[in-house]
A and B are shown apart, each in its own frame.
Chain A
Amino acid sequence: MSPILEVNDLTVTFPGGIQAVRGVSYQVSRGEVLGIVGESGSGKSVTSLAVMGLLPRNAVVSGSVKLHGKELLGMDEGDLVKVRGKAISMIFQDPLSAFTPVYTIGNQLAEAVRIHQKVGKDAAAKKAVELLDLVGIPHPAIRAKSFPHEFSGGMRQRAMIAMAIANDPDLLICDEPTTALDVTIQAQILEVLKTAQQETGAGIVMITHDLGVVAGMADRVMVMYAGKPVEEGAVDDIYYRPRMPYTMGLLASIPRVDGAEGPLVPIEGNPPSPKNLPTGCPFAPRCPMRVDACEEEEPPLVAIGGDRHVACIRSREIEHKNLTGQDVFPTPVIEHAPIERVPREQRTTVLELENLIRHYPLMKGAVFKRRVGTVHAVDGISFDIVEGETLALVGESGCGKTTTLQQIMQLQPPQDGRIVVLGKDSSKLDKGTRKALRRDLQIVFQDPMAALDPRMPVSDIIAEPLRAHGHKDTDAKVKELLELVGLSATDGDRYPQHFSGGQRQRIGIARALALEPKLLVLDEPVSALDVSIQAGVINLLEDLKGRLGLSYLFVAHDLAVVRHLADRVAVMYLGRIAELGSVDRVYDHPAHPYTQALLSAIPLPDPEMERTRKRILLEGDLPSPADPPSGCRFRTRCPKFARLSEHERTRCVEEEPVVIRLANAGDHGAACHYAEEIEVITASDDQEEQ
């Protein structure tokens, strides 16, 4: 069978000598899924844009891209337009900006059909509705008349897929199609993609940084690093028998939801800048297996048996000794604070929330505003954190995590309920005490780019909280803090934009630690970072906690990271806590149907398990917090509710469940009338061995 798409020695150079892609070759056959994996800046997106001919004019592209044997590079725009959207379609990461806001979804779909097919308006409109039905949008005939902003993120991505398959393309390029979505929605979208592929029989190029998504979707995988493929092969080979240290490190550094706790394996250093690449192997500076020969010449991608290609001079040796990432990369040893051995009941409480409520009024009208409703952002949640403990608050976007966190950080009297920080009630604070309390309560933000003022040098950024609290001589302390988070003391004179994402996050952590707080609030501290960097920051956080005896309130949507870092976990759904308990109990024996669905939706970086796993797919999207369902808020999407008898259901509709401690467990409670523990994640092999 001849391949649909053949890419040969593709290179892309941007002005200023930036070599974004340096020789990429691959083929995609009909019905095949090729996963391209790499960190940000590895050139994976640029490759696909070059294939589509969508790069800006100042990019210099060379090599060859053949679709059905016809060269696409250098084809003139008029002919390319006929190919784009017809033979090749692309699905973008951000479904919000991929639609024109002023036309209805149905119109835009029909337009896509009519551009490439000679059909009438009515026929195109009918086809649009059929496509929406195919990608699983309920009431497609009605929804086709909706505008993009009336669709949720997940629905928009479905519509995007519908548009991409509208003309029966031979090839679909998906550029991070699920990165912007929540896990339960991601699971739905991946299912839709699989249906779309079966329906059209197209080949798919799946570009992502998420090794879990690739494991479940791809037939073949290509790993890219610094603009070049470093390893290529069948999905099982790559995951179970990686032969290139970078792939090995990548696989070892991902926190796994089924994995054991403890330190992760970090890859030291940062990817090289495309402006000044090292002469030898680009991964050599970070590689634990580096020998002198690595720095002399860049190793070419050579075939090693079957369909596999590796760019590493020591790949034979790796194969021979059957090494894995855990063997090659050094695992740091992290000490635990003595406080962690004290039973939970005997430690002091650092943070206590009691029935916290935060409602926002929903206003309408331009001149005379009137209240038309209430957004129940946080609707009565309670939890506590003791000294030396990490509590993770997890949930999908819109569940009220961030609002909770803001309520705590503001230290203002809440609308209702109580916030007690280090024994002090936030509603009884005067100005002086509040400021003093801020010393003990600090925050690390999600986006390390946005959290640091770009116009201040790093030493000023870190010294800012010190100065605000009346410290005069800050130089020594700043140096000490920089070293504490693993940066060099001389870095203080540089500006935030000179640092990579991981280093910036370390600066953010240093700033938060400047006043020696007791409780650190972490707002998605690693979600904006690349996998190989993420592990280092997670280890740093764990290490700091042990050394300084900190307590963490950790807000995250990534359940795998939570498993590694947290002691206890609280799962939030629509402003309420669905399940609360120790990490081991909640992950191994989830009792709330929502937690079960959430855990089963997380893709595992393990192709074998991904193929055999049964997912609990949730229907639809999160209901609006302005109009939450009566009784149990989860009942509209609950798979368990669907199985209940009419009589049993009335309880879910009428009575709102509260978190009740499960009878047979220690630290574990669920807010479900019919809670029942099941095992969703089968323990992986290496865990069974332990």
Chain B
Amino acid sequence: MRSKVVLGRMLKNRQARYGMIAFVALVLLAYVGPFVGPYDWTDKDFLSFLVPPGGDHWWGTTTIGQDMYALTLRGMQKSIVIGVLTALIATTLAAIVGAFAGYFGGWIDKALMWGVDLLLVLPSFLVIAIISPRLKESSWLWFVVLLAVFTWMITSRVVRSMTLSLREREYVQAAVYMGIPRWKIILKHIVPNLSSLLIIDYTLNVSGAVIGEAALSFFGFGIQPPEVSLGTLIAEGARNATGYPWLFAFPAGLLVLLVLSINLIGDGLRDALDPGSNS
């Protein structure tokens, strides 16, 4: 079976193996870690402000006595969720828009690609920076949607060009001659045959979204307090990074580890699914 072969090839790839181990460990840390720690992320310890790591507070505390361990893990949870959701929306959107544009062609193709081009020329960072303060009151999920809207375009162009060649395949033609509706052909025959591209794209989008979220939150445009993410934590810690390095080092270090592990998985997947590429 193909999926077995791919899995085998991926496990043979050392980088991908380490990436997977690291990613699983980080996810476990984010979700199981808080139960192990002595403090909740909302707790404030008024007896210890800015305590360095060690003793009761494993990773130290903040200026207002929050436990860095609990806080960082909470932030990482958010970052992972945002990354996974954003990538999911972006990849789905890319697959659907690209496949429809490529399969139908004509004016549908022109209109969809025009939309893609428009989104590509818009400065995404600026647009999100302008819109996101207006969403302060509403759920952070809107922020996910905003991030996703500006990530899918390049992939959808790739999907479109691959669809152009797929739709000439005989099994797609066979489906047309069987009288199967066209939207069903796209979902049943075209999108599944692009799955290797989409899987790779998905993993790379996750790390992109995690970084994007962190960057926006760093400037105060992303996740809004009292909610925390790695980005907001890094922003706050950066101010005191020299004097109280634990405020900065833990969230920043975890962000690097997280993105690195996802990228390793993505590269490993690409090598496993597409043995021709050596880059």
Contact = CB atoms under 8 A, between A and B. Distances in A.
Given A445-B170, A451-B170, A465 B178 contact: yes
A453 interface: yes
B180 interface: yes
A453 B178 contact: no
Contact of B179 (A438, A451, A455, A495): A438
B8 interface: no
Nearest to A441: B177
A91 interface: no
Interface in A87-126: none
Given A453-B189, A454-B193, A455-B193, A438 B177 contact: yes
Nearest to B171: A453
Interface in A439-494: 439, 441-443, 445-447, 450-455, 464-465, 468-469
Interface residues of B, number: 18
A435 B179 CA distance: 6
Interface in B183-203: 184, 188-189, 192-193, 195
B177 A409 contact: yes
Given A450-B169, A453-B189, A455-B193, A511 B174 contact: yes
B179 A453 contact: no
Contacts of B175: 464
A59 B264 CA distance: 31
Nearest to B190: A453
B70 to A, nearest CB: 45
A41 B179 CA distance: 37
A142 B184 CA distance: 53
B235 to A, nearest CB: 45
Nearest to B169: A450
B171 to A, nearest CB: 5
A558 to B, nearest CB: 19
A441 B177 CA distance: 8
Interface string B1-16: 1100000000000000
A435 B177 CA distance: 9
Contacts of B174: 443, 445, 451, 508, 511
Interface string B216-229: 00000000000000
B177 A443 contact: yes
A464 B193 contact: no
B156 to A, nearest CB: 21
A447 B178 contact: no
Interface in B203-235: none
Contacts of B2: 495, 497
Contacts of A515: 178
A435 B174 CA distance: 14
Q: Which of B1, B171, B175 has most chain A Cβ within 10 Å?
A: B171
A469 B195 CA distance: 27
Contacts of A455: 192-193, 195
Given A453-B193, A455-B193, A442 B177 contact: yes
17 contacts: A435-B179, A438-B177, A442-B177, A445-B170, A445-B173, A446-B170, A451-B171, A452-B171, A453-B192, A453-B193, A455-B195, A465-B178, A468-B178, A468-B179, A469-B179, A508-B174, A515-B178
Given A442-B178, A450-B171, 8 more contacts: A435-B179, A438-B178, A443-B174, A451-B170, A453-B193, A454-B193, A465-B180, A511-B174
Interface of A: 409, 434-435, 438-439, 441-443, 445-447, 450-455, 464-465, 468-469, 495, 497, 508, 511, 515
Q: Which 7 A-B pairs have the closest CB atoms?
A: A438-B179, A451-B170, A465-B178, A445-B170, A435-B179, A450-B170, A453-B171
